[in-house]
Chains A and B, each alone.
Chain A
C-alpha cells in the first residue's frame, strides 16, 4: 500500500528537497505572499486545530462563535482522560513490534534481491524487474482475501507470523526497486577491487554496498515505521486481539466510541499519537536528502 507513495517519492526526489529557486513569473510577488499565506493557513489549520483543542476545556470547545483560536484557560485534563481510556503503552509497544517484525526480515530479503538485480547479470533480469515494478503498482486489496485465507489455514491468525513470514520473502517491491536504483549507482570500481582481492558477493554486499547505502536504509526504517504507525488494514485482519492492537487500530476504537463530550480527549490522544511520527518524518527528510545527494556523487 505504501508502494506507490514511496515509489513516487523516490522517482522524483528532487522537488521535495532541492530547494533551488527558479523564478516562475506566473503570479506577481505582491499577490504571492497573500496566496501562500492563504494556502498555508488552510493546509495547517487542521494541525493547529488539533493542538489547540487538545488543551481546551469542554466549556470552551462548546463556544463556536466567535472562533476560539487559542485555549484559554489551558487544561491538561484531556490528556489525562484520554490516557486512561486505553492501554496506550501496550498499543505503542505493539506498533513498534510490528515495525521491527516487518522491518528486519524485509530489509534482509530486499537487500539480497536488490543486489542481484543491481549488480548481477542473469537471464530474465529485466523481465523480472518489470514484474517487480508491476507488483509495486498493485493495490493490496487484490491479494488480501486469499492471503488471509492462507494464513488462517496455517493457523497464524492471532500470532505475529503474518507480519514476519511474508516479510522474509521480500514482499516489498517498492523497497526492492529503490534499493536496486541506489545500489547500481554505487561506483563499480569499489566492488571490482574487492572482488580481485578475493571477496565474494556476500562480503562485497556487507562490507561495501551496505555501508554506502546507509542513508537509503535509514529512510526505509522511517518508511516502515511510518507504515506500522499508519496502516489499518493489516492490524484489522491480523492483529485484532486486544493485546496485539496497534495505535491506529486503538484509535479506531477510541474514535468509534466517541460521544460529543469526548472531543477533548480525542484531540489530546491525536496529538500524542501524531507527535512521534511527525518528529520521525522530519528526521527522515534529512536521510532522504542525504541519500539522493550521495547518489549524485557518482560519475
Chain B
C-alpha cells in the first residue's frame, strides 16, 4: 500500500538506525518521545473521528430509515435506495447532474486544453496574456453569478443581443426555461474551469528535446500535437478528469445564487438535492442515501487517484 505521494524522499527521516542520524533519535526513544507525534495529531484525530467518520457512519445508518429529525428514525430497509428517483424533483435533479457531468467534464477538459495550448505559444506579450487569462478566476462567485445572470437575461442580456445580430431575432428565455437553464450552468462550468492551469503546468514539463526530435523527423505541428504533446499530458488529463468529476458534484453556489435551482427544478444539481431533501423537506433518510451514493462515488475516485498517482503526482521534494 505505498504510493509515490507518500514514499517520496523524506529529509532526515531515513530508515531506523540510519547511521547519519543522532543515536537518540534513531534508537531508544522514550515513551514520551514516541507518543509526541500522536499528541501533535490529536486534534486531527478527533476531527476525523467526530466530523468525518461519524457523519459517514451516521448517514449509512439513516439511509435505511425514514427520519425527519423530530421523530425517531424508522427502519425501512433499502427503500430509500430503490425508490431514489420516485419523486419528480429528485429524478429531475439526478438527470440534470448526469447531463452536467457528461457534458461539462469532457467539455471542460477540451476547452482547458485548447486554452493552455494557446497560452503556450511563444509570442510576445505572453506573460501579459497569461496574467489577463487569470483575472476571471479571481472574481468571487457572487459577482460572477450576478453578471452571468445579466448576460443571459432575456430582455437586456448580451447573449440574446448577439443572437439578434446573428439573425435570430426571437432570442431565448434561457434562465426561465426549465429545459434550457441547465445549459447556462454547463457553459459556465466549461468556461470557468481551472483545467487550463493544470494543462499549462503540464506543457512546461514536456521536454524540448521531444519537440526538436519530432521536428527533425519532419513531423507536422498537428502530428506533434498527437504524438508528443497529448501523450506527455496524459497524467495531467487524468488529474483534471478526476478532480473535475468531484468538482461537478460539488457545484452548488452558482445555481443557488442565480436561480435557486429553478425554474421547476431545472437547475437543481446533486449538492442542492441533498440540501433541499434534508433542510427543506426534512427527508433525512433520503438525503442520507444520496450522501452515501456520493461517498461511494468519491471513494471510487480516491482509489483511482491512488492507483494512478505514480504517473501524475508532482512531488515537491523530489530530486
Contacts and interface: CB of A to CB of B under 8 A. Distances in A.
Contact of A281 (B7, B37, B138): B138
Q: Summarize A's interface: helix, strand, loop or mixed.
A: helix
A4 B245 CA distance: 11
A251 interface: yes
Contacts of A149: 58, 69, 284
Contacts of A292: 316
B187 to A, nearest CB: 11
A166 interface: yes
Interface in B21-50: 21-22, 25, 34, 36-38, 40-41, 43-44, 46-48, 50
Contact of A65 (B116, B164, B204): B164
B239 interface: yes
Contacts of B120: 21-22, 24
A5 B247 contact: yes
Given A142-B294, A171-B47, A263 B69 contact: no
Contacts of B243: 4-5, 7-8
A196 B22 contact: yes
Given A32-B123, A184-B11, A248-B142, A11 B313 contact: yes
B287 interface: yes
Contacts of A126: 1-2, 6-7
Q: Give the bracket for the number of chain B residues in contact with chain A.
A: 35 or more
B264 interface: no
Interface in B85-105: none
Contacts of A116: 37-38, 40-41
Given A230-B140, A266-B150, A143 B201 contact: no
Contacts of B216: none
B132 interface: yes
A278 interface: yes
Contacts of A18: 204
| Interface-central residue, A181, A196, A274, by most chain B CB under 10 Å | A274
Contacts of A49: 147, 150-151, 158
Interface string B221-254: 1101100010000001001101100110110110
A26 B48 contact: no
Interface string A167-187: 011110000100001101111
A46 B3 CA distance: 42
| Interface-central residue, A15, A40, A128, by most chain B CB under 10 Å | A15
A77 interface: no
B123 A33 contact: yes
15 contacts: A4-B250, A7-B243, A21-B126, A25-B224, A27-B118, A29-B122, A140-B250, A145-B274, A170-B47, A171-B51, A181-B315, A233-B252, A233-B271, A236-B275, A277-B139
